[in-house]
C-alpha cells in the first residue's frame, strides 16, 4: 500500500499532501504519514511555511472509527502531532475543501491559518457516535468561535457552510479556485505573519448568561441515554474556565469514559450498518443501471402522495394516476398543502415550491404511465386489487421500465407474476409518511433482475432513503417482526395488562412509541385488514385467540386516532385510558378461556414483546430473508422508532446476552406452552448463544 501522506516542497513552501480515499480518513497509516512528513519539514530550515492539502473530493472527513474498538486505541499519537504542528515557529496553513469533519476539523484548527473553498462544510459530528471530539476540538473550537456556537456544534453534530464558518472565525478566508494553488498562494502571503495558535487564544463568552453552563448541563441530563451531551458541556466549560492544558485533560478523561459506553458502541454499530446495507452479496459492481428520468405512482392517497414528493424533491417528474377525479384532486391538494407548510416554515423558497409542484402531473388514465421509467403502485393493501393493477402495468409500461409495488406484507412474487414480466418487478416498501421516513425496504423477488435491484438501490440514495434489501416473505423484515410484537401485546391485554402499562414499559427502553399508541396512530383498520388478508391467504397460525382484539376493535369502528377511539380514547391527539377497552378485553378473555391476571410486571412485558421479536429476526436471518443482522437493526431504527442508543433489536440482544434470551424463551414456553411455536427459540439463536457469537454481527454465507 502506498503512503497516504507525501511530503514535498514548492519553492519556500513545504506541503503535506494526503491521499487516503475515499474521504482522507485519519487512519493509523495516515497519522504516521503526517508525523513523518512534519518531521521532514522541521528538518528543512530553508522552508518558510507549511501547507496541508488533501487530494480528492474532500479534506480530512474524520477519523478511523473502526479503531475505536481496539484495546490499545489511543488519541495520543495524533494529539501530540497536533501540539507539535501548532507550536511550529513557521506559519502552518490548511487548504480546506469538501467536508472537514471530526479529526479533520481538529487538524485544521491546530494549523495557524485556514483557507476554504466556497463549498466547504465544517463540523464535529462525534456526538452522532456517542462521543465528543477527542483531539482537542472541545478546547480549540471555543477559542475560535466562542462558547455558545462551539457547544451547539459539538452537541448537535451539525455542519456550517464556508460563509458561516468564516463569520464564526473558524476559517480565515474563503475563495474560489484550486485548493492547492490557492493554499500555496495564501501560504506565500503569510511568510512574515505570526504563527497564530488557537490554544493561546482567549475564549469568548460574549452574550452568554451567567448560568449558561448550569442550564446546558441540566438540559443534557434530561437525556441520560446520551451521556456525550453532558460531557460536551463539561469540556466546553473547561475550555472557558481553565488553562488549555487542564482543559485537554478534561477532554481526554471524558472521551475515554464515553468510548466504551453502551451508547457509543450502539451508535458506532449503526454507523457501520448504514454503510453495509447497500452492499448486496452476489451483485456485480459493474451491473449497468437502468435510467430513471421519470416516475409514475398509482394511487394519490397519503402514501402515494408522499412517495411522489420524494422524487419531485430531487427534480424527477412524477405522474400520479387515480381512479376518480375526486381522489386525485384530494391527493394533489394534500401534496400542495405539505409543500406550502414547508414553505411557510422557511424550508422552501417560493421558487422551489413552484418548481416541485410543476413536476407533479395527475391523470385518470393508466396510459399516462406508458413512458415512465419506473412505476410504483401504492394502493391499499388488498391482494386482488394490487394483482389487477400489476397486470395492467405489465401491459402498459414500456419495455425496460421498472414496476414496483409498495406492499407492506403481500407476496411480491405473486404480484410480479401478474405483470407477465417478473424480472422488471421489485418491492419498494416506503414507510409513512413516505416523504419523511428514512427507511425503504427493497424486496428482491425470485426473478428480480440484478440491474433492477441495483437501480432501485441507487435511486433510493438519490431520494435520501436508507434502503435495506429483503427477500420475499410475509411482512418482509420489519412487519414480519412487528407482527410477533403486536401478537404478544394483544395477548398481554387479554391477560390483564392495560394499554398504558404496555406502552410505558417499552417506551422506558427508549422506543419512540409503544405498540398500542403506534397502531392507534397508524390505524387499527389498517392493522386489522392486514391480519384479515393474511387469514384469507392461510398464513395465520391455527390459534383461535390470534389477534382477536384488533379485529374486534375494527369491527366496532375503533380505528385509532382518526376516530378518536382505539386502544385509547382521544382528546385531540392525547391518548387517555378507556374503560371500554378493558371491558372488551375481559369479554374476549372469557370467550376464549384466557385467565386474567393482576401480576403482569413491566419486565414481563418487555421480555414478551421483544424476545419473540428478536427470535423472529434470527429466523429471518437463518432463512436468508435478510443478508446481515445489521440490516435488521437498520430497519428497526430507521423505520420503527427503535432507540438508536440501543443499536437495534439484535444489537440489544447481544448486549443482554443471547444465552439469557434463549433461557427466557424456554421459561415462557414452559409457562405458556409450545403451541404454535410462539416460544420456540430458533436454531440460529441457540447456536450463536452456545458459541458465544453475536447476532448483530451475523451474515448469511
State the CATH number of the domain containing residue 329: 3.40.50.720
Q: What number is the average pLDDT over the span 416-425?
A: 98
Residue 1 has pLDDT above 80, yes or no: no
Residue 444, helix vs strand vs coil: coil
pLDDT digit string, tens, across residues 101-120 = 999 999 999 999 999 999 99
In a domain, 476, yes or no: no
* pLDDT value, residue 701: 72
In a domain, 699, yes or no: no
The Cα–Cα gap between 262 and 268 comes to: 10
CB 134 within 8 Å of CB 255: yes
**Total domains in the fold of the chain:** 3
pLDDT category, 164, cuts 50, 70, 90? very high
Note whether 516 and 405 are same-domain residues. no
CB 353 within 8 Å of CB 343: yes
Q: What is the DSSP string of 463-510?
A: TT-EEEEE-SSTTTTHHHHHHHHHHHHHHHHHHT--HHHHHHHHHTTT
* pLDDT value, residue 242: 97
CB 448 within 8 Å of CB 471: no
* pLDDT value, residue 173: 98
The Cα–Cα gap between 612 and 482 comes to: 10
Residue 271: how many other CB atoms lie within 10 Å = 15
Note whether 62 and 186 are same-domain residues. yes
pLDDT category, 371, cuts 50, 70, 90? very high
Residue 518: how many other CB atoms lie within 10 Å = 22
Note whether 662 and 523 are same-domain residues. yes
Q: Which three cell numbers stand for residue 276?
A: 453495509
Q: Say which residues have a Cβ less than 8 Å from residue 428's Cβ, sequence separation at least 6.
A: 376, 404, 405, 406, 440, 441, 442, 443, 456
Q: Domain containing 254 — which CATH number? A: 3.90.226.10
Q: Where are the alpha helices (DSSP H) in 69-203?
A: 76-86, 103-110, 137-145, 147-156, 162-168, 179-189
Note whether 332 and 247 are same-domain residues. no
Note whether 544 and 657 are same-domain residues. yes
Q: What number is the average pLDDT over the span 11-16?
A: 97
Residue 204 has pLDDT above 60, yes or no: yes
The Cα–Cα gap between 4 and 33 comes to: 7
* pLDDT value, residue 438: 95
Backbone dihedral region for residue 52 (phi beyond 0: left; psi -120 to 50: alpha; all else: beta): beta
The Cα–Cα gap between 111 and 551 comes to: 66
| Cis check: omega of the bond before 433, within 30 degrees of 0 | yes
Q: What number is the average pLDDT over the span 330-358?
A: 95
Residue written as cell 409495488? Answer: 405
In a domain, 389, yes or no: yes
The Cα–Cα gap between 111 and 120 comes to: 17
- Residue 470's DSSP bridge partners are 443
* pLDDT value, residue 536: 87
In a domain, 697, yes or no: no
Sheet architecture: strand order including 113-116:
5-10, 13-18, 49-54, 92-96, 113-116, 173-174
Who wins on pLDDT, 161 or 539?
161
The Cα–Cα gap between 137 and 153 comes to: 11
* pLDDT value, residue 205: 85
pLDDT digit string, tens, across residues 53-102 = 999 999 999 988 888 888 888 999 999 999 999 999 999 999 999 999 99
The Cα–Cα gap between 362 and 368 comes to: 9
Query: How do strand 425-430 and strand 439-443 relate by DSSP bridges?
Result: antiparallel
Residue 332: how many other CB atoms lie within 10 Å = 19
Residue 121, helix vs strand vs coil: strand
Residue 673 burial (10 A CB sphere; 0-12, 13-18, 19+)? exposed
Note whether 375 and 432 are same-domain residues. yes
* pLDDT value, residue 324: 96
- C-alpha distances in angstroms, 314 versus 249, 453, 455, 516? 46, 20, 16, 35
Biggest alpha carbon–alpha carbon distance for the chain: 93
- Annotated catalytic residues are 106, 126
CB 545 within 8 Å of CB 676: no
pLDDT digit string, tens, across residues 474-514 = 999 999 999 999 999 999 999 999 999 999 999 999 998 99
Q: Which three cell numbers stand for residue 156?
A: 448537535
Cα 41 to chain centroid, rounded? 42
* pLDDT value, residue 381: 87
| Cis check: omega of the bond before 310, within 30 degrees of 0 | no
Note whether 328 and 463 are same-domain residues. yes
HSE-CB at 505 with a 13 A cutoff on CA atoms is: 21
In a domain, 288, yes or no: no
* pLDDT value, residue 71: 82
Q: Of 470, 495, 527, at which residue does a domain stop?
A: 470
The Cα–Cα gap between 247 and 239 comes to: 5
* pLDDT value, residue 323: 95
pLDDT digit string, tens, across residues 577-602 = 999 999 999 999 999 999 999 999 99
In a domain, 286, yes or no: no
Q: Of 260, 287, 314, at which residue does a domain stop?
A: 260
Q: What number is the average pLDDT over the span 337-356?
A: 94
Q: Of 260, 276, 309, at which residue does a domain stop?
A: 260
The Cα–Cα gap between 395 and 409 comes to: 24
The Cα–Cα gap between 29 and 75 comes to: 14
In a domain, 266, yes or no: no
Q: What percent of the chain has pLDDT over 90?
A: 93
* pLDDT value, residue 624: 96
The model's pTM: 0.94
pLDDT digit string, tens, across residues 301-328 = 999 999 999 999 999 999 999 999 999 9
Residue 626 has pLDDT above 70, yes or no: yes
Q: Domain containing 535 — which CATH number? A: 1.10.1040.50
Q: Which three cell numbers stand for residue 613?
A: 421479536
pLDDT category, 523, cuts 50, 70, 90? very high
Q: Average pLDDT over the chain, rounded to whole?
A: 96
Note whether 586 and 648 are same-domain residues. yes
- Residue 363's DSSP bridge partners are 321
Could you list the residue range(s) of the whole structural domain that residue 199 is in?
5-260
Q: What number is the average pLDDT over the span 462-471?
A: 97
The Cα–Cα gap between 594 and 587 comes to: 10
The Cα–Cα gap between 223 and 674 comes to: 40
The Cα–Cα gap between 21 and 318 comes to: 36
Note whether 95 and 229 are same-domain residues. yes
- Residue 539's DSSP bridge partners are none
Note whether 550 and 460 are same-domain residues. no
Note whether 492 and 539 are same-domain residues. yes
Note whether 565 and 422 are same-domain residues. no
Q: Work out whether the CA dihedral 496, 499, 501, 505 comes out positive or negative.
A: positive
Residue 300, helix vs strand vs coil: coil
In a domain, 277, yes or no: no
Nearest alpha carbon to residue 293 among 271, 316, 310: 316
Q: What percent of the chain has pLDDT over 70?
A: 100
Residue 682, helix vs strand vs coil: coil
CB 156 within 8 Å of CB 164: no
The Cα–Cα gap between 103 and 137 comes to: 8
Amino acid at each position: 500500500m502506498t503512503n497516504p501522506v507525501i511530503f514535498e516542497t514548492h519553492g519556500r513552501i513545504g506541503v503535506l499532501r494526503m491521499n487516503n480515499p475515499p474521504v482522507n480518513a485519519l487512519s493509523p497509516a495516515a497519522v504516521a504519514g503526517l508525523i513523518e512528513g512534519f518531521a521532514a519539514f522541521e528538518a528543512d530550515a530553508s522552508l518558510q511555511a507549511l501547507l496541508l492539502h488533501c487530494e480528492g473530493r474532500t479534506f480530512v472527513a474524520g477519523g478511523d472509527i473502526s479503531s475505536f474498538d481496539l484495546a490499545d486505541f489511543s488519541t495520543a499519537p495524533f494529539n501530540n502531532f497536533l501540539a507539535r504542528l501548532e507550536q511550529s515557529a513557521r506559519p502552518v496553513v490548511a487548504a480546506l475543501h469538501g467536508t472537514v469533519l471530526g479529526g479533520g476539523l481538529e487538524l485544521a484548527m491546530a494549523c495557524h491559518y485556514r483557507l476554504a473553498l466556497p463549498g466547504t462544510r465544517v463540523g464535529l459530528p462525534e456526538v452522532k457516535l456517542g462521543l465528543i471530539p477527542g483531539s482537542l476540538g472541545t478546547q480549540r473550537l471555543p477559542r475560535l468561535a466562542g462558547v455558545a456556537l462551539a457547544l451547539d456544534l459539538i452537541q448537535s453534530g451539525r455542519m456550517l457552510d464556508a460563509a458561516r464558518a468564516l463569520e464564526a472565525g473558524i476559517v480565515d478566508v474563503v475563495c474560489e479556485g484550486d485548493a492547492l494553488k490557492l493554499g500555496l498562494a495564501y501560504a506565500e502571503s503569510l511568510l512574515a505573519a505570526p504563527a497564530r495558535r488557537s490554544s493561546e487564544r482567549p475564549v469568548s463568552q460574549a452574550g452568554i448568561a451567567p448560568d449558561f453552563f448550569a442550564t446546558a448541563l441540566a438540559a443534557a441530563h434530561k437525556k441520560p441515554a446520551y451521556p456525550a451531551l453532558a460531557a460536551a458541556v463539561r469540556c466546553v466549560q473547561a475550555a472557558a474556565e481553565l488553562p488549555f492544558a487542564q482543559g485537554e485533560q478534561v477532554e481526554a478523561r471524558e472521551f475515554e469514559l464515553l468510548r466504551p459506553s453502551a451508547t457509543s458502541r450502539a451508535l458506532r454499530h449503526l454507523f457501520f450498518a448504514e454503510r453495509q446495507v447497500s452492499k448486496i452479496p452476489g451483485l456485480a459492481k459493474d451491473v449497468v443501471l437502468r435510467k430513471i428520468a421519470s416516475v409514475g405512482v398509482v394511487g394519490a392517497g397519503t402514501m402515494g402522495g408522499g412517495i411522489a414528493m420524494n422524487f419531485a424533491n430531487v427534480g424527477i417528474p412524477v405522474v400520479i394516476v387515480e381512479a376518480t377525479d375526486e381522489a386525485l384532486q384530494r391527493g394533489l391538494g394534500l401534496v400542495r398543502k405539505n409543500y406550502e407548510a414547508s414553505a411557510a416554515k422557511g424550508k422552501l423558497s417560493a421558487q422551489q415550491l413552484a418548481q416541485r409542484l410543476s413536476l407533479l402531473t395527475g391523470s385518470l388514465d393508466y396510459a399516462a404511465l406508458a413512458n415512465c421509467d419506473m412505476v410504483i403502485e401504492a394502493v391499499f393493501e388488498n391482494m386482488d386489487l394490487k394483482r389487477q393493477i400489476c397486470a395492467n402495468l405489465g401491459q402498459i409500461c414500456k419495455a425496460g421500465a421498472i414496476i414496483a409495488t409498495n406492499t407492506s406484507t403481500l407476496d411480491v412474487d405473486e404480484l410480479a407474476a401478474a405483470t407477465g414480466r417478473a424480472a422488471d418487478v421489485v418491492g419498494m416498501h416506503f414507510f409513512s409518511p413516505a416523504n419523511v421516513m428514512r427507511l425503504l425496504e427493497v424486496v428482491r423477488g425470485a426473478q428480480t433482475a440484478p440491474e433492477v435491484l441495483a437501480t432501485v438501490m441507487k435511486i433510493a440514495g438519490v431520494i435520501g432513503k436508507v434502503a435495506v434489501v429483503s427477500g420475499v416473505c410475509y411482512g418482509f423484515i420489519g412487519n414480519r417482526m412487528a407482527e410477533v410484537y403486536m401478537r404478544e401485546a394483544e395477548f398481554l391485554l387479554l391477560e390483564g395488562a392495560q394499554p398504558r402499562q404496555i406502552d410505558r414499559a417499552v417506551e422506558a427502553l427508549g422506543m419512540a412509541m409503544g405498540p398500542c399508541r403506534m397502531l392507534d396512530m397508524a390505524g387499527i383498520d389498517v392493522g386489522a385488514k392486514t391480519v384479515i388478508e393474511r387469514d384469507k391467504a392461510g398464513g395465520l397460525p391455527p390459534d383461535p385467540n390470534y389477534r382477536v382484539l384488533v379485529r374486534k376493535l375494527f369491527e366496532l369502528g375503533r380505528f385509532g386516532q382518526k376516530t378518536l377511539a382505539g386502544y385509547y380514547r382521544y382528546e385531540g391527539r392525547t391518548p387517555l385510558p378507556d374503560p371500554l377497552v378493558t371491558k372488551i378485553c375481559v369479554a374476549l378473555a372469557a370467550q376464549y378461556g384466557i385467565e386474567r391476571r393482576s401480576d403482569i410486571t413491566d419486565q414481563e412485558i418487555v421480555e414478551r414483546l421483544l424476545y419473540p421479536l428478536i427470535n423472529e429476526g434470527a429466523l429471518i436471518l437463518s432463512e436468508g430473508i435478510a443478508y446481515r443482522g445489521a440490516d435488521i437493526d437498520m430497519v428497526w431504527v430507521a423505520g420503527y422508532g427503535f432507540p438508536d442508543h440501543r443499536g437495534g433489536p439484535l444489537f440489544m440482544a447481544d448486549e443482554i446476552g443471547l444465552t439469557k434470551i434463549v433461557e427466557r424463551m424456554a421459561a415462557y414456553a414452559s409457562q405458556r406452552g409450545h403451541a404454535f411455536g410462539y416460544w420456540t427459540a430458533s436454531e440460529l439463536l441457540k447456536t450463536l448463544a452456545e458459541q458465544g457469537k453475536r447476532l448483530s454481527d451475523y451474515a448469511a454465507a
